[in-house]
């Protein structure tokens, strides 16, 4: 997760006013990173700096100031930190092939993704593993021998499920895996 998303999530968890020290404590980032992200949010009009109070300072170090902030637009902040999804990526093409094959024949294999979606073999294998770990697909037989056919476990639409860059599936506690087109935050 990048810094902007981490700091934005920490801000959304707080209600009302917050300080840079509270954000530093919850994100475990140094002051510089938190300050940079908060300044970015101030420039975008998402948060506003309310007060600059003097803090006690240690001998031999310059005084530091405690900035107090408040969120102006929570919806804009939530929209800012949601991962952006590109259209017509290789994952979109692979999911479309999987969904289309499931509608027509009921199963697909690795070769279908490589040939029809134009994906490299390693990318297609990674995508199959990620979908299997998330519970979207299951093999038609046990074992990992070549030629294994895969099937969808439920009725899914043509919009692919979201996989983030850390290659873990985002899950919502109440609704299960988050599908494309639905927001991460309510």
For the stretch 50-102, pLDDT in tens is: 877 666 667 777 766 677 888 988 898 888 888 776 678 888 889 988 988 87
**110-132 mean pLDDT:** 90
SS (H, E, C) the chain: CCHHHHHHHHHHHCCCEEEHHHHHHHHCCCHHHHHHHHHHHHHCCCEEEEEEEECCCCCCCCCCEEEEEEECCHHHHHHHHCCCCCCCCHHHHHHHHHHHHHHHCCCECHHHHHHHCCCCHHHHHHHHHHHHHHCCEEECCCCCCCCCCEEECCCCCCCCECECCCCCECEECCCEECECCCCCCC
Q: Domain residues of the chain, as ranges?
A: 3-81, 90-177
CATH class of 90-177: mainly alpha
User: Would the CATH topology of 3-81 be identical to that of 90-177?
Assistant: yes
**0.75 cut: is pTM over it?**
no
For the chain, the average pLDDT equals 80
Of the candidate ranges 40-49, 86-95, 165-174, the one whose mean pLDDT is the lowest: 165-174
Look up the CATH number of domain 3-81.
Answer: 1.10.10.10
What pLDDT score does 177 carry? Answer: 54
């Amino acid at each position: 997760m990048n810094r902007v998303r981490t700091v934005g999530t920490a801000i959304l968890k707080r209600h009302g006013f917050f300080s840079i020290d509270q954000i530093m404590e919850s994100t475990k980032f140094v002051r510089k990173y938190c300050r940079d992200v908060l300044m970015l949010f101030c420039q975008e009009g998402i948060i506003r700096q309310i007060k600059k109070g003097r803090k006690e300072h240690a001998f031999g170090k310059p005084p530091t100031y405690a900035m107090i902030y408040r969120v102006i637009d929570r919806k804009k902040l939530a929209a800012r930190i949601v991962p952006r999804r590109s259209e017509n990526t290789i994952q979109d093409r692979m999911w479309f092939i999987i969904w289309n094959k499931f509608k027509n024949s009921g199963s697909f294999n690795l070769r279908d993704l490589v040939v029809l979606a134009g994906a490299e073999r390693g990318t297609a294998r990674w995508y199959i593993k990620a979908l299997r770990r998330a519970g979207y697909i299951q093999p038609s037989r046990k074992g990992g021998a070549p030629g294994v056919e895969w099937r969808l476990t439920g009725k899914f639409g043509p919009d692919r499920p979201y996989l983030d860059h850390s290659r873990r599936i985002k899950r919502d506690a109440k609704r299960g895996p988050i599908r494309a087109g639905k927001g991460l935050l309510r």
